[in-house]
Amino acid sequence: MNSLQLSELGQQLRVDSVRAAAAAGSGHPTSSMSAADLVAVLFARRFRYDFERPAHPGNDRLVLSKGHASPLLYAAYKAAGVIDDAELLTFRTLGSRLEGHPTPRRLPWVETATGSLGQGLPVGVGIALSGKRLDRTGYRVWVLCGDSELAEGSVWEAAEHAGYERLDNLTVIVDVNRLGQRGPTRHGHDLDAYARRFQAFGWHTVQADGHDVEDIERAYGEAVSTAGQPTAVLARTLKGKGVAAVQDREGLHGKPLPDADEAVAELGGVRDLRVEVRQPPAARMLHAVPAGQPRLPRWETGEEVAVRDAYGRALAALGTARADVVALDAEVGDSTRAEFFAKEHPDRFFECYIAEQQLVAAAVGLATRGRVPFASSFAAFLTRAHDVVRMAAVGGTGINLVGSHAGVAIGEDGPSQMGVEDLAMFRAVLGSTVLYPCDANQTAKLVASMADLAGVRYLRTSRGARPVLYGPDEEFPVGGSKVLRASPDDRLTVVAAGVTVHEALKAADALAADGLPVRVIDLYSVKPVDRETLRTAAGQTGCLLTVEDHHEEGGLGDAVLDAFTDGRPTPRLVRLAVRDMPGSATPAEQLRAAGIDAESIVAAAELLTGSGVLR
């Protein structure tokens, strides 16, 4: 396309953005109009993509970080011929593929779910890391950001990571249109302010007039030719460009234009230009993943092994068996034990330093490229990345997250380091799997199972060494549990997971010696939960006593209640959980102070039976 045709294409994208929002009665046309010329030049001159083969290994990758500008993306898809005008006008309607914010669940050309601002660039970094270090097929990652979202800290975690890794296959295009939702942005049209920030993180920057198609092309060309640095194209634009009633005016964010027909006429009317997006270069497909089972580490019963050690060893073994497995860590690999993977598979290990939002977002980006990522940090610190986890679920992206140093059992470090909210956080994620092993062999088997699950998967690991309870050939299906103590005379059932399984067994032995038999269930699969085993136990023993190294809200006790949400009678349920703010103390003192150690379980059981609550 020549310059005149490019300008016409930009106008068409504006017109179609206005029309789509008008048909829906909602949307963000003004945010789309500011970036229309940026997308027109990208699609017509620089983007390489085979729309018939979204998985083509040589395809460039486009991430629309300002996901609210979805009318612009859909207008570009129409110009590329992959949707028609009728579908464009189904924008934001029930059953339409064209959602208010695009997701890969609906459209195969969308890389990741966006719309929670500040996440597109971090995910783009993950995709670029895959391209630079693993795929090596020469594709480029383009991320379109708005200027408002540059206030998000996640953007600057990503900027530093990309600069450090010298991701010259990554270009961020910043639509600097000066206006946010409620008024002017922090830096307005001061492109130098944005340039200084990106340059401080090792980026090459190019400033451009975002409505001059040849200047945009010059900026893109400079980005593509820059080696050893990622590039930020900082484009000065006007929100609502081309329509006098809305151009560069406040108070019009997220609203259809007041008079769409008049706006379309002012923009030159409806057009039907077609853009021929360049085909990607020939590229090899990713190597097939070996189908063999990993040779997992094995431990004998009675050995003292920390669950986190078992995680690291099992992950390294999984990486040996499967070339698609990658590991990421937040500069705590010596604690999470991700270091075992790093030593055996350094080419597939990604150090993200202390930046948990970037850690999880990079995992999402790697997953879009067919990798199976395991990302680890302290359980407490993964809370920082909860919104990235939430958006991974929105997009249907499969990632594995591992939180170490969970619960008060970590000991003297105190509450800032204790993950006591993590089970609730991950259980609340739609379609998630939440696992909490209590010994080494169980951990190894669950790590191997996680790799083949869908959605967000979370594994909670413990710090201290505990006895191995299960033999190396024991199986632990996701959604299952293990009954460790049982008799026909059981007076109640103790349900535990992780650290508290060991406390429950001690308590059960003590109670049995006093003539009070109790059942013990190891509920290692917190979500999905083993409904049948719990229902059977409730029916046979009359009461469930849950014991968890976690806050009461949203943890093991609530997971147990999920087994009785389909109209079944709810059993008597008593909960032992972390209810007070801990201080610094030894692990044993912490468990005792929280009321979740063996002695506390014994006391609770004796109180329940002795008071006549149970007969």
Looking at the structure, do residues 461 and 511 belong to the same domain, yes or no? no
In the numeric block, which tokens belong to residue 269? Answer: 């009317």
Average pLDDT (137-141) is: 95
Q: Is residue 50 part of a domain?
A: yes
SS3 content of the chain, % helix, strand, coil (to 5): 40, 15, 40
**Residue 489 CA to its chain's centroid (Å):** 46
69, 90, 154, 245, 491 from 26: Cα distances, Å = 12, 12, 28, 18, 60
- Burial annotation 517-540 (CB, 10 A radius, 16+ → b, else e): bbbbbbbbbbbebbbebbebbbee
448 pLDDT higher than 70:
yes
Cα(2)–Cα(5) distance, integer angstroms: 5
288 pLDDT higher than 70:
no
Q: Is residue 517 part of a domain?
A: yes
Cα(183)–Cα(36) distance, integer angstroms: 21
Of 433, 467, 501, which marks where a domain is finished?
467
For 254, the 3-state DSSP assignment is coil
Instruction: Please name every residue paired with 204 in a beta bridge, in sequence order, or none if there are none.
Output: 231
Looking at the structure, do residues 492 and 572 belong to the same domain, yes or no? yes
User: In the structure, how many helices (H) and strands (E) does the chain have?
Assistant: 22, 19
Say which residue, 230 or 614, is predicted with more confidence.
Answer: 230
Looking at the structure, do residues 456 and 378 belong to the same domain, yes or no? yes
Looking at the structure, do residues 77 and 225 belong to the same domain, yes or no? yes
Looking at the structure, do residues 59 and 154 belong to the same domain, yes or no? yes
Of 238, 266, 294, which marks where a domain is finished?
266
Q: Is residue 238 part of a domain?
A: yes
We report the CATH number of the domain holding residue 528 as 3.40.50.920
Summarised one tens digit per residue, pLDDT across range 451-471 is 999 999 999 999 999 999 999
Looking at the structure, do residues 450 and 525 belong to the same domain, yes or no? no
Q: Is residue 475 part of a domain?
A: no
Looking at the structure, do residues 449 and 522 belong to the same domain, yes or no? no
Q: Is residue 283 part of a domain?
A: no
* pLDDT for the residue 612: 45
Looking at the structure, do residues 459 and 494 belong to the same domain, yes or no? no
Our count of domains for the chain comes to 3
Of 219, 241, 266, which marks where a domain is finished?
266
Instruction: Please name every residue paired with 141 in a beta bridge, in sequence order, or none if there are none.
Output: 61, 170
pLDDT-based confidence at residue 566 (cuts at 50, 70, 90)? confident
Average pLDDT (19-40) is: 98
Looking at the structure, do residues 443 and 514 belong to the same domain, yes or no? no
Q: Is residue 81 part of a domain?
A: yes
Cα(359)–Cα(352) distance, integer angstroms: 6
For 339, the 3-state DSSP assignment is helix
Report phi then psi at 344, rounded to 5: -90, -25
In the numeric block, which tokens belong to residue 436? Answer: 């909490």
Residue 597: name the closest of 610, 611, 587, 584 by CA: 587
Residues acting as catalytic residues: 356
Average pLDDT (583-594) is: 96
Check: CB of residue 83 under 8 Å from CB of residue 102. Answer: no
491 pLDDT higher than 60:
yes
We report the CATH number of the domain holding residue 399 as 3.40.50.970
Residue 248: name the closest of 517, 33, 43, 406 by CA: 33
What residue numbers bound the domain in which 575 lies? Answer: 482-610
Looking at the structure, do residues 215 and 131 belong to the same domain, yes or no? yes
For 433, the 3-state DSSP assignment is strand
Summarised one tens digit per residue, pLDDT across range 352-382 is 999 999 999 999 999 999 999 999 999 999 9
* pLDDT for the residue 567: 72
Summarised one tens digit per residue, pLDDT across range 244-276 is 999 999 999 999 999 999 999 999 999 999 999
**pTM for this prediction:** 0.96
pLDDT-based confidence at residue 14 (cuts at 50, 70, 90)? very high
Q: Is residue 233 part of a domain?
A: yes
Looking at the structure, do residues 374 and 447 belong to the same domain, yes or no? yes
pLDDT-based confidence at residue 290 (cuts at 50, 70, 90)? low
Cα(75)–Cα(85) distance, integer angstroms: 9
Looking at the structure, do residues 569 and 524 belong to the same domain, yes or no? yes
Q: Is residue 569 part of a domain?
A: yes
